[in-house]
Chains A and B, each alone.
Chain A
Amino acid sequence: MIYLDNAATAKPCKEAVEALSHAAENNFGNPSSLHKMGIEAEKLMNEGKSAILKRLSKKDGEIFFTSGATESNNTIIRGVANALCRRGKTIITTAMEHPSVARVMDKLEAEGFNIVRLSPKDAIDNFEEYIADNITPDTILVSVMAVNNENGFITDTKKLYTLVKRQNKDIIVHTDGVQGFCKIPLTGDFISMSGHKVHAFKGIGAFYAAKGTRFLPLIYGGGQQKNLRPGTEPVENIAAFSAAVKAYPEDMSHFELLNQRLREGLAAFSDIRINSLIGKCVPNILNFSVLGVRSEIMLHSLEEREIYVSSGSACSKGKVSSVPDAFGMTDKEADSAIRVSMSHSTGEKDIDELLSGIEAGIKRFRR
């Protein structure tokens, strides 16, 4: 089995599995309990927060745990919009966002907010400046993904943050860091993260909130996590998340080599379009179109060889994604797009197998 769909979900690492079972056996207390079991559980949770803050290179600020990145994104965007709606009604975002951001924006728009959606295709070389140029006095929030899930396109969040704050330090910057976390540096007043994309488990996510930021909670309950995200904290899952974050390698050169190998291999075939712009995308994701072969057919034929890739974004079974349009892809390119997303256990042999699978697919399906 060759699993090349790590941007959809990544296999839980050994460290996460061990941390989870250890916590379940030994630290199953409720962090809110006054006794020793509760204190032990709380410690474990705080260790998790520290591990994430450290990985984000943040000294202060708060980590909130959620059920996943969808909840993180919903909480931040809605929570900030609700907290700041008296100051302004304009939110700047992009046309390539994940549905867990895009659909919240649609809802806010229906409720009377002014949503500005910018496409990378309109300023592919200086997207950060382009975003900052669109700021108006009414802008309260800028929400942008650090790494696009379908093609790996990077928005430099540090640059964006500086440009935005230079214009107006009161504008909140939200970074959807799901695909960028552990892979590239992330900056923002709020940063969303997901556990299962970094080899922890599904069902756990988090977000960073910079010191002094304000948002209103989505749900109400027993006061946990400063009453901003109440609900008993899933200590076992937090322990696994923290272990996975600690275990995630810093070095990305492994991906760069594989990425290059894949590109070179693809160059030997005719009518291939590389949709991940060189130098502008993370090396662990490569999106390309095998013109003349529909994505789904290529995907299933690779599946016959037990090679698992994605056609665009795995969250969107059969639904049309907004990403191809945001990058100016033609329908033909979008219909035949394949996303390969690697992990640190992906090897050169896997890439070679993939290439021969694609070659066979081209022979069989391209007419």
Chain B
Amino acid sequence: MREVIMVKYGEIALKGLNKGTFEDILIKNIKRRLRHLGKFEYMRRQSTVYIEPVSHDADLDEVIEKLKTIFGIGAIQRCAVYPKDFEIIKEESVKYLETALQFARTFKVEAKRSDKTFPLKTPDIQMELGGAILEAYPHLSVDVHNPEVTVMCEIRDKGAYVSAERIIGAGGMPVGSSGKALLLLSGGIDSPVAGYMMAKRGLIVDAIHFVSPPYTSDRALMKVETLCEKLTAYCGDVRFFCVPFTEIQEALRDNCPQEYFTVIMRRLMIRIANHFCKENEYGALVTGESVGQVASQTLRAIQCTDAVAEFPVFRPVVGMDKKEITEIARHIDTFETSILPYEDCCTVFTPKHPKTRPDIADIEKAEAMYDFTDLINKAIRDTEIKLFRVEGNE
């Protein structure tokens, strides 16, 4: 029996003339992710990619697990392929559907006929196939509104496809179809989620992180590296910039008024990020800020940090509350890592009473009390770059 996996496009299906470009990127991404799982043949037709294993040892369950993390995919269906002969379809699919149907109570058949030369019309296919199934599994009953199992039968150009399981894909746009962005990754719950969300919109997401040893520990860095690794499951390869930040923070502590520490620190981070954006052609910055969460995430504070950004700053979780963000963090498996209790550089020298409504003129004045240029350049020079690769692409 031949089995294929049908991958149906998400948003790309709605694209116009440039649809082909998006398809190319999606298929390239799929191929990269599946490469270590075996040899596959790919065919695209009617807004669908057909993935057929060439080697017999390919584990299709594992393939489906991987596909579920690839953006740009609307739905995934594992199906049996038959010649377009309805007698064969009936006979074979009743056997094929055994695992799906033996413990179900209700079902329905949904048919599609894009090949209009097929002798049976859609309602006829539904009725005939449904009848055959009922005969083979008499414990079942038909429920067209809320079936436990929906059997799909599609008569397409190349053959008939029967399946009982339709899996919702990750949605969004294929990673790489919208450009590149640099994520400010702290180690908290929010920033990995922000990275995930922008990758979902088709961005290639790389990450920048600031370390302040001995104020921060190696464990804190290990934690962020683990987060990067976890992000690769959705984002693809992630380049990781690790910026030594100790001297800058010490200079900040020694030279600027305490209540402005946090905002000035964030401005310095953005300045450094600006540099890497220009050097590596990132078109935007991404942060995990959510309005009102902490003192640096008030409107005024955000205005102050954005004033030094030379690129658009995307904040995909800006309007979400902690519970919603946490839900996504659990979904992408970053939550347990994010809550490890190691201090990151953002909480070093946190003022007792930070200004929640900083005035940009005051901030600029406070920041001008020390010339950070040399330290910024040094931090940029000493930045370490690491590449985290998608599983199977080592």
A297's contact among B214, B340, B342, by CB below 8 Å, is which? B214
Interface-central residue, B214, B216, B219, B342, by most chain A CB under 10 Å: B214
Q: B341 to chain A: which residues have CB within 8 Å?
A: 317-319
**Is A280 positioned at the interface, with any CB of B under 8 Å from its CB?**
no
Q: How far is the CA of A300 from the CA of B341 in the complex (A)?
A: 16
Produce 1/0 per residue, A287-321, CB < 8 A to B.
00000000011011101100000000000011100
* Contact A300:B253 (CB < 8 A) given known A318-B341, A318-B342, A319-B341: no
In the bound complex, do residue B343 and residue A296 qualify as a contact, i.e. CB atoms below 8 Å apart? Answer: yes
**Is B103 positioned at the interface, with any CB of A under 8 Å from its CB?**
no
**Is A367 positioned at the interface, with any CB of B under 8 Å from its CB?**
yes
Q: How many residues of A contact B (CB 8 A)?
A: 11
Q: A297 to chain B: which residues have CB within 8 Å?
A: 214-215
**Is B55 positioned at the interface, with any CB of A under 8 Å from its CB?**
no
In the bound complex, do residue B253 and residue A367 qualify as a contact, i.e. CB atoms below 8 Å apart? Answer: yes
Q: B342 to chain A: which residues have CB within 8 Å?
A: 318
CB-nearest residue of chain B relative to A294? B215
Q: How far is the CA of A273 from the CA of B342 in the complex (A)?
A: 26
Q: B253 to chain A: which residues have CB within 8 Å?
A: 367
**Is B354 positioned at the interface, with any CB of A under 8 Å from its CB?**
no
B:338-357 near A, CB below 8 Å: 340-343
Produce 1/0 per residue, B208-219, CB < 8 A to A.
000001111101
Q: How many residues of B contact A (CB 8 A)?
A: 11
Q: B217 to chain A: which residues have CB within 8 Å?
A: 296, 300
Q: How close is A201's CB to chain B, nearest CB, in angstroms?
A: 24
CB-nearest residue of chain B relative to A304? B214
Q: A317 to chain B: which residues have CB within 8 Å?
A: 219, 341
How many A-B residue pairs lie within 8 Å, measured between CB atoms?
21
B215's contact among A300, A318, A319, by CB below 8 Å, is which? A300
Q: State the main secondary structure of chain A at its contact with B.
A: helix
CB-nearest residue of chain A relative to B342? A318
Q: How far is the CA of A287 from the CA of B322 in the complex (A)?
A: 39
Q: How far is the CA of A218 from the CA of B213 in the complex (A)?
A: 44
Produce 1/0 per residue, B282-303, CB < 8 A to A.
0000000000000000000000
Q: How far is the CA of A273 from the CA of B168 in the complex (A)?
A: 61
CB-nearest residue of chain B relative to A367? B253
Q: How far is the CA of A302 from the CA of B292 in the complex (A)?
A: 37
B:303-353 near A, CB below 8 Å: 340-343
Q: How close is A207's CB to chain B, nearest CB, in angstroms?
A: 32
Q: How close is B246's CB to chain A, nearest CB, in angstroms?
A: 10
A304's contact among B213, B219, B340, by CB below 8 Å, is which? B213
Q: How far is the CA of A296 from the CA of B343 in the complex (A)?
A: 9
Q: How close is A335's CB to chain B, nearest CB, in angstroms?
A: 12
Q: B219 to chain A: which residues have CB within 8 Å?
A: 317
Q: How far is the CA of A318 from the CA of B341 in the complex (A)?
A: 6
Q: How close is B345's CB to chain A, nearest CB, in angstroms?
A: 12
Q: A301 to chain B: which residues have CB within 8 Å?
A: 214
Q: How far is the CA of A300 from the CA of B220 in the complex (A)?
A: 12
Q: How far is the CA of A301 from the CA of B219 in the complex (A)?
A: 14
Q: A304 to chain B: which residues have CB within 8 Å?
A: 213-214
Q: B216 to chain A: which residues have CB within 8 Å?
A: 300
> Knowing that A297-B214, A318-B341 are A-B contacts, what are 17 other residue pairs whose CB atoms are under 8 Å apart, sorted by A's residue number?
A296-B217, A296-B343, A297-B215, A299-B214, A300-B213, A300-B214, A300-B215, A301-B214, A303-B214, A304-B213, A304-B214, A317-B219, A317-B341, A318-B340, A318-B342, A319-B341, A367-B253
10 A-B pairs closest in CB distance: A300-B214, A318-B341, A301-B214, A297-B215, A300-B217, A297-B214, A304-B214, A300-B213, A318-B342, A303-B214
**15 A-B contact pairs sorted by A residue (CB < 8 Å):** A296-B217, A296-B343, A297-B214, A300-B213, A300-B214, A300-B215, A300-B216, A301-B214, A304-B214, A317-B219, A318-B340, A318-B341, A318-B342, A319-B341, A367-B253
